[in-house]
Structure 1
Amino acid sequence: MIGTFLCTFSLWLFTSLNVCAAYTIKPVTPPIQHSEGPHWIENQQMVYYVDTFRPTIYRWEYSTGKVSSHRLDHHDSIGIIIPIKDTEDEFVVGADQDIYRLKWPKEDSNEKIEFVNLAKVQPTKSEKQFNDGKADCHGRIWAGVLTRNEDLTVQPHGGCLYMVTVNGTIEKEEKISNTSISNGLAWTKDSKKFYFIDSTERTVTGYDYDQTSGEIENKTTVFNLADHPDLKGIPDGMIIDDEDNLWVALFGGTSVVHLNPSTGKIIKVITIPATYVTSACFGGPELDVLYVTTSRLHLNETEQLKEPLAGSVFAIEDLGVKGVRGHAAIFNLS
């Protein structure tokens, strides 16, 4: 059982107010190859996440710690899982370049998982695949794609970020072009600002956001990892808290960075017991637990022995902040 792992870390830090704050980190799931894309589903009290290159969807139950999963046959990757509004156990899934509607079978039933293939994002380009995505406050799906080589490297500037609207038909609009690794996304509570990560740029960029039209403009760099040589890796997934501060996973950097996008200043850096940190989401009954996904994909056998929990989902508690409720996708198909 995960709860028996002797790997709960108590970490202490002093804030700028010289107040001592404690938080704890513990693994809540067994390790998988490349855990990514976590979403907290409030009405179920569960974290859903994916194993990207062994295309499998997982969910972890807060109350019991139970982990269940479903693998997607005939696919090479899965990048996105987003709940669908006003449904129970239904999700938008981005696998390879296919957009699916998925229905998770009820517990202890004989039902099978249901997949309905709705569209391909770029039908003539089989090397394209989804990487990260979320829904905005109007239920539109923001989904990044990239161009993946056979050795799992990525072609520079071979991707983009789409806004996908499902209202009678499925329509996609390219919002950011020529990205390399389209990754973390976040909106402020008032939906007036949008934040985005193209990992190879090693930056977090901000935009003014028109929530009615979905238009973004006035691009600015709100955080540049190059300004912090003590921090390694590249920015990957991210989440925003109820104070509109960002929590950015550093892939290859063994940490999550808590930063203020208005000033660009780092609030704190949390060390994770895994080199490759992929993403994060807030959850728990009070939305005050940060769930962090990690990877062991790039670790050799010796390194895996040194990082036995790499690939696990970690829970960080007692941070003193809360998250905001994530948005569900709105799906209206004729």
Structure 2
Amino acid sequence: MKADVAVAAENILGECPIWCGRTQTLYWVDGRAPALHALDPAGGGTTRFAMPETIGSICLTEKGDLLAAMTTGVFRLSRGGVLGAMVFAREADQPDNRFNDGRCDRRGRFWVGTMNDKARIATGNLWRIGPDLAATRMAGDIIVPNSLAFSPDDRTMYLSDTYRHEIHAYDFDIDDGTLSNRRLFADLHDRPGRPDGSAIDAEGCLWNAEYAGGRVVRYRPDGRIDRAIELPVSQPSCCCFGGPALDELYITSARQRLSPQELAAQPLAGALFVVRPGVRGLPEARFAG
């Protein structure tokens, strides 16, 4: 499988690609040169909307706008890049924390993690924000939360701690929105890459971007890797399925902390890539609040 360049974006930290089936638009963010990006694949046009602070992730909503998980809180965000009301503020007792990866479950709840942005210490938490805007802490002791994804049968949730080099799986109760039976799903300690953002395909396999590893790998539900997509950049960061048939895999990447020599060797660092992996994804769930 060969990854093509969809947008030569030069993102500092491209993250969280999301496909909107209603508008046939791909959204993603640049976390560190904070911005929301939108791509119309049919027409080829892209739009960039600057954000006022670091942005970790976005999600679609039933109302037609977005949620944006940023440094100080989770906000409503129009498709035109206008920041609206705050939905949930970061932890008052952790002023160095910011919001990072997030994803909606199929009951319209937004799950989002926080991380310490000043030091790689385990002050982060996983939060569940319900349609009524009530927020519940679901897990703690996290350094960098990533890889949030839900299995097609809504019985498993995945979550990585990037700086612990591990992806964990939880039993997930879709009715109650609760987690149990945390277990190790993938151990990356013996690999150069660390587990970053993920996507689930229709067969229940987890596609994970290995940051600093230069590839995206596909895990079967039992944790075995059955294929990998090698990329011309070292820092793939996240992926999602898109396109009218959900048969295209979009992959964001980063160029942060690369030396001038590394950037010269990776002129596509920070680009948005696309590949046809031979499987389909699932429609992205939307926040119901």
Structure 2 Cα separation of the partners of residues 197 and 180 of structure 1: 10
Counterparts of 2:59 and 2:149 in 1: how far apart (Å)?
Answer: 14
Q: Which residue of 1 aligns with 2:23?
A: 44
1:1-334 equivalent positions in 2, closer than 5 A? 23-30=1-8, 31-73=10-52, 75=53, 77-85=54-62, 87-88=63-64, 90-105=65-80, 113-149=82-118, 154-167=119-132, 170-226=133-189, 229=190, 231-262=191-222, 264-317=223-276, 319-331=277-289
Q: Distance in 2 between matches of 1:275 and 1:222?
A: 23
Matched residues in 1 for 2:101 and 2:19: separation? Answer: 15
115-124 or 214-223, which moves further after superposition?
115-124
Cα distance, 1:113 vs structure 2: 2.6
The amino acid across from 1:60 in the alignment is L
- Could you tell me which runs of 5 or more consecutive residues in structure 2 were left unpaired when the two chains were aligned: none
SS in 2 for 1:303: helix
Root mean square deviation of aligned Cα:
1.4
1:219 offset after TM fit, Å? 1.2
Aligned partners of 2:16 and 2:239 also within 8 Å: yes
CA distance in 2, matches of 1:55, 1:217: 35
Change (3 A) 1:114 1:178: closer
Distance 1:113 1:306, change over 3 A: same
| Maintained 8 Å contact 2:235/2:253 | yes
Contact 1:236–1:279 (CA under 8 A) maintained in structure 2:
yes
- Structure index of larger Rg: 1
Q: Distance in 1 between matches of 2:287 and 2:88?
A: 16
The Cα offsets for residues 224-278 of structure 1, whole Å up to 9 and x where unpaired, read as 123xx3x31210011111110111100100000111132x211012111110110
Question: 1:125 & 1:175 partners in 2: Cα distance?
Answer: 16
What's the offset of the Cα at 1:114? 4.6
Q: Higher relative contact order at CA 8 Å, sep ≥6: structure 1 or structure 2? A: 2
Residue deviations 1:104-139, cap 9 Å, x none? 23xxxxxx8352233312235331101100000111
Alpha-carbon separation, structure 2, partners of 1:181 and 1:321:
29
Question: Which SS does the other structure have where 1:24 is aligned?
Answer: coil
- TM-score, with normalisation over the residues of structure 1? 0.83
Matched residue, 1:13: none
**CA deviation vs aligned residue, 1:282-303 (integer Å, no higher than 9, x gap):** 0011101100000001212221
Q: Please report how far the alpha carbon of residue 191 of structure 1 lies from its aligned counterpart in structure 2 after TM superposition.
A: 0.2
- The CA deviation at 1:180 is 0.5
Q: Distance in 2 between matches of 1:327 and 1:218?
A: 24
How far did 1:305 drift? 1.3
**Count of equivalent residues:** 288
Q: Is the 8 A contact 1:223 1:261 kept in 2?
A: no
What secondary structure sits across from 2:286 in the alignment? Answer: coil
Aligned equivalents of 2:167 and 2:88: distance in 1? 30
Q: Calculate the TM-score normalised by the size of structure 2.
A: 0.96
* CA contact 1:58–1:68 (8 Å) conserved in 2: yes
Counting aligned pairs with the same residue, the percent is: 26
Question: Is the 8 Å Cα contact of residues 11 and 33 (structure 2) preserved in structure 1?
Answer: no
Letter in 2 for 1:39: I
Structure 1 spans left out of the alignment, 5+ residues: 1-22, 106-111
